[in-house]
Amino acid sequence: MTDRQLKIIEIVKQSGPITSEQIATLLSVTRATLRPDLAILTMSGILDARPKVGYFYVGIDENNLIAKKLRSKKVEDLMSLPVVVGEEATVYDTIVTIFLEDTGSVFVTDGGFLTGVVSRKDLLKNAIGGIDINKIPVGIIMTRRPNIVMAFPDENISDVARKIIEHEVDSVPVVEHVKREDGKEGYKILGKISKINIARFFVELAGE
């Protein structure tokens, strides 16, 4: 756990039930900053929350199934196949791809290496902005590295869930750091982790 998460646990232990606003005030941070930490602590069973009441301490139980699963489950165990297009693909082709694959984001590559990402929101904004979607390549409108949130196969799934919450994205690419043939370094896409992947994981836990 992070230092802030440990502080949150101590605060809730001593003052619970306590609201997120009150915790944020005690730690001198915003509610948005606390949201990922509270989500992880609640999902792991250490804290519980009741509407209009606040957070209260449940306890750190080494036998808690969710807590143990969160610590042991890696990104490579849950990742799914990514939806990928090349930089030269047109905005129109990318729109078709995103709807045919029923995904929230498409990852963009050059020579097999991650260069960008484009979301439904990006495509809609540009489509209604008057550009010629049949001629403009997606590489022009995508979000480029290094402004892309990424995950690695051996990362803990709870850490990636925190990234998704903090950055308010639907999914992140799972990558490996490799050296390209031209000697430069890059990231090869292995898969993706999405909100759906994480939701499925918790449904499985509920079943167990």
In tens, the pLDDT along 165-181 reads: 888 888 999 999 888 77
Among the three residues 21, 38, 72, which one is the final residue of a domain in this structure? 72
Same domain, 44 and 86: no
Same domain, 165 and 120: yes
pLDDT reported for residue 65 = 56
Same domain, 46 and 139: no
Same domain, 106 and 194: yes
Statement: the pTM of the whole predicted model exceeds 0.75: no
Same domain, 115 and 80: yes
Tokens of 72: 């042991």
CA triple 181-182-183, angle to 5 deg: 90
Same domain, 96 and 48: no
Among the three residues 30, 56, 72, which one is the final residue of a domain in this structure? 72
Same domain, 54 and 139: no
Same domain, 187 and 148: yes
Q: How far apart are CA 85 and CA 47, in angstroms?
A: 42
pLDDT reported for residue 79 = 93
Share of the chain above pLDDT 70, in %: 92
Same domain, 135 and 195: yes
For residue 186, CA distances in Å to 85, 86, 180 come to 17, 15, 6
Number of domains in the chain: 2
Pick the closest to residue 156 from 44, 61, 64, 49 (CA basis).
44
Same domain, 122 and 180: yes
User: Given a cut of 90, is residue 126 above it in pLDDT?
Assistant: no
Same domain, 68 and 83: no
Segment 59-70 shows an average pLDDT of 62
What is the residue range of 191's domain?
75-207
User: Given a cut of 90, is residue 85 above it in pLDDT?
Assistant: yes
User: Given a cut of 80, is residue 182 above it in pLDDT?
Assistant: no
